[in-house]
Structure 1
Amino acid sequence: MNWNDRYAVDEYIYGTEPNAFLAEHAHLLTGPVLSLAEGEGRNAVFLAGLGLSVHGVDSSAVGLAKAQALAAARGVNIGTEVADLAEFVPAAGRYGAVVSIFAHLPGALRARLYPLLAQSLQPGGLVLLEAYSLDQLPRNTGGPKDADMLMSLDKVRQGFPGFEPVLLRELSRDVCEGSYHTGLASVVQFIGRKTA
């Protein structure tokens, strides 16, 4: 999929309001925050509005340009970086939290990236993740049609072994996030605290 093409429309295709799971638990986060697959900026701009320093990473320059426009419209500052998550290396020990909202990655890429995310966190730092689960495959309410890219509780545990789960669950919930994520969806939600 070409994300530059998908984002090259006037509308914010995932909306301008933050992900509901992130908004509900944002009070747990400390900065700086690394936000993966930030896209058009809705989550980074929300977190910046709470006073957090945010660095949003995405492969789409078009999406991140819209993120900066949204930040300017809301009167906040966010950092953005165009990067392919298959090659991205976050700075070690820099972040208080890593946010991964619907950042669906192949298993091989997760195996490379997730240990780097763990290294990028300060002691006691949090990972906050929401992703579509395997039960989402038959639904047409968002997410990839590739089981390898969908998450499960076991995939989360394997991906973040040095973390204490603050919250780890799979559930169905109504997702209303722009034209591409709307309707009843099966998701995995994870908040983990770095212990090692």
Structure 2
Amino acid sequence: MFSVIIPGRPCLTDIVPVDPQPNGQSTKFAFTIPLAPDFSDLVVFFLPGTVLPPDTAAAIYIQFPDNGFRFIGALANEKPSAILSTSPPPNLAPGMTATLGISIEPVQSVAPQLATLEAEKGASGQLVRQSRQITTKVLAQRIIGNAFNFLASFASSDQDAVPLKAFRDWWTKFERKVDMDPTFLEREDPSASG
């Protein structure tokens, strides 16, 4: 029904039903996850053919040693996979495990938890963006510096004209670089060679 991927580890498929019902169906499942090596994110997804009952969602919780279960996200028929942040406590002893719980619940009980989680993420994400934000002037200087260095490589002296095609080539290369790494201009010493 569900599977979990933790970066750098094999895919987890050993899900355990927690509340077997007389009809053989279960609404609560668990994965046991070794805490070593460290991880901070995981991916939870439906296996092919999995469809939740109407008006339900799969609420996802994590429990670290000495802590209760904490809601970290949800899946639904419209959203069959998610990358979730786990935020493990620091200094966990080797050999310990976490429990990832998945509970099939009514959408109306999952939606408020999801809204609260998104609001918390939004607030912390905004703080991170503000702390990394660079001024428009610095960003403009870096873009122009990148263009100048690239175009200057076509000239042998200050008097040489640079063909317009060189600018188009720089722009194509610059766009490709931004697509591959949108934050390269935010770093202290971006590569200015184009």
TM range (shorter): under 0.3
More strand by share: 1
Query: TM-score normalized by structure 1?
Result: 0.23
Structure with greater Cα Rg: 2
